[in-house]
Amino acid sequence: MCMESFLFSTTYRYSGLVEPSDFLQQQNLLVFREGCTYRTKLEQLVREQGMLPRKVMEFGTVEAILGCVAVGMGITLFPRSVIMCLQHVHDIKFHTLPSTTAHIPTMLIWRTDVLRTKAMNAFVEVVQEIDQSL
């Protein structure tokens, strides 16, 4: 298990804002389909702030969501690890969340009756190293 750190993603017009409540009101939420943990986390944060999104817009890829964020269509929430792997994020401003809501556990689960390969062991080691560095 590792803890993922989340970042709000907005256009640069919100670059000076630091509190989620400053830019949640009447924004479109750009998210994956129902059942996505990231979507659930964003919707929870919006509710906790007592805000209502203008519209919830569903997409199929991270790139589509961030492309829409870049042109000002709305806001989204992704783990830092997802954002940092992408190349075209220069038009997007990332905001950290308060420490009370900024983290979510991520677990790796596999079948006990399946042999753990060298590749799987290496993957687990890399994930643990990344988790310790965050």
By the 10 Å C-beta count (0-12 exposed, 13-18 middle, 19+ buried), 19 is classed as exposed
Residue 25: predicted pLDDT: 64
Residue 9: predicted pLDDT: 65
pLDDT digits (tens, 9 = 90+) for 2-26: 556 666 566 555 555 555 565 566 7
User: Is the domain 2-109 a CATH 3.40.50.720 member?
Assistant: no
For residue 31, give the H/E element and its range: strand 28-31
Strands 55-58 and 28-31: parallel
Contacts 24+ apart (CB under 8 A), 117-124: none
pLDDT digits (tens, 9 = 90+) for 84-105: 777 666 777 777 777 777 777 7
